[in-house]
Chains A and B, each alone.
Chain A
């Protein structure tokens, strides 16, 4: 209730600033103009197509990074050899903003889907791997001992003990990886015209349409928050409840 009032107040201030501010309104459109731009983009199908395209790419790129990142993280946590060889590289590359992969992506893959996917994967893979490694390293050793004495080994150990044991932590890594993937995707989509929200944003800029730029930004924020707050929150809560990490009664 209070939140809604604050939001309304903020929007009103924004609209007033836009209308009465000293700068031209077309450079600083108000919420009404942004909303009508969003509606227009939704009505002629541009927004829907762009969202679908972006989410499709994200699904591909993110699945790829999870498919590589989780085993990589497990390997780093479990093998001293891999740790020594891979860890410094992973940590070093983690410091690299994903946009730095753009030039290499273009050289290797040209202006193609593969280039965008590459940027998304490189942007999120390391966060997933590091998160997984942390989670696996901090699995309660007593569980590993129990698995050892109970004779659980091989794939059953990895899928039945190690990964479930690390799951709450792995989820945190996955969430971080997702937000990195989302950012990297937006950077990658600014690269060249290939549809997607990043492109819609760029188009707004090229047509000097600040309302469209802001509208797309709102859409990007909304999607990012939906996935983060709804999908991951729910998943995390369920896992934490099952694992007994939060009081079941509290929920």
Chain B
């Protein structure tokens, strides 16, 4: 079993993707200290192996998409980066410092808008800034700058429940950008939006990223979304959660999801994922399953680990 897995892993690593010339290249190690270093990280919930020996290095200014089917541990990995989960093995460090909990240099953007329902759009942006010690004036200025950036002029005083899903998600994006973290961690932020809104959000996010060049780690299970947005796509597989391919995307920006090249690449990645899954299913048919449920996502909600983050607010 293990030998088989290793063999397949090596093949995936060194068996060059045939589509190389079409825009995808195996990740080449970069010089210099990475911004984010995920080293031999493993994690399990009870007896479910969510992550197994994951190694990823992310450099400052990169836009990295973690792509994979549900259960591949991509969300778990993201939460480990955010500091909301302590992995059971290995080491996650940022700028060489081990991650021990959430910190102001990283910010998580959720699939749900996660806006404070009693605050207006403007207040939702201002309040966290005030909490981070900005003066009233500075916070107001930033809100005024970011609300137009996400195309919400005129909605300053609207309450979240008066907005559409896409607008709410834009408020969340504005709130995250206004806080100005070094690393933006995004957990399928557009997963719940309809296709049209989603593609508008992709354009918007690309524009903003091209302007600011923040380090972004973006979790998605949508192959095309990953190819449209990412500089780099880390393809993950489930059971156990592991990295299948680590690919550089070399396509000109801004990208169009219907571009033939992009469509072709996404077809290839999808085939690759299907192949891995079929092999795993065959393994399982031969052997008793190692886990009842490989879904690394916990919590009855979609992505958030169950319960409250241990670090929210001060302990009593």
Contacts and interface: CB of A to CB of B under 8 A. Distances in A.
| A touches B (Cβ under 8 A) | yes
B159 A148 contact: no
Interface residues of A, number: 32
Given A146-B116, A148-B311, A157-B313, 18 more contacts: A79-B315, A82-B316, A141-B301, A141-B307, A142-B110, A144-B308, A144-B312, A145-B304, A149-B102, A150-B131, A151-B128, A152-B127, A152-B128, A153-B314, A154-B314, A160-B127, A243-B161, A244-B117
Contacts of B301: 141-142
B73 interface: no
A165 B314 contact: no
Contacts of B127: 152, 156, 160
Given A167-B118, A244-B159, A145 B110 contact: yes
Contacts, number: 101
B128 A142 contact: no
B114 interface: yes
Interface in B99-139: 102, 104, 106-108, 110, 112, 114-118, 127-128, 130-132
Contact of A150 (B107, B304, B314): B107
Nearest to A81: B316
B175 A150 contact: yes
A147 B110 contact: no
B162 interface: yes
B112 A142 contact: yes
Contacts of B114: 142-143, 145-146
B161 A244 contact: yes
Contacts of A150: 107, 128, 131-132, 175, 179
A242 B304 contact: no
B316 A153 contact: no
A157 B115 CA distance: 14
A149 B114 CA distance: 11
Contact of A160 (B131, B161, B316): B131
A81 B160 CA distance: 35
B313 A242 contact: no
Interface string B153-193: 00000011110000000000001000100000000000000
Given A243-B117, A244-B117, A75 B84 contact: no
A148 B118 contact: no
Interface string A110-154: 000000000000000000000000000000011111111111111
B99 to A, nearest CB: 13
> Which bracket fits the contact residues of B?
35 or more
A153 B311 CA distance: 9
Nearest to A79: B316
Contacts of A23: none
Contacts of B162: 244, 248
B315 A144 contact: no
B131 A141 contact: no
Nearest to A146: B114
Contacts of B110: 142, 145-146
Contacts of A248: 161-162
Contacts of A145: 84, 108, 110, 114, 304, 308-309, 312
Contact of B159 (A162, A165, A242): A242
A242 B114 CA distance: 16
B179 A144 contact: no
Contacts of A157: 131, 312-314
Contacts of B160: 244
A158 interface: yes
**The 3 nearest A-B residue pairs measured at CB:** A244-B161, A79-B316, A148-B312
A161 interface: yes
A204 interface: no
A195 interface: no
A224 interface: no
Contacts of B92: none
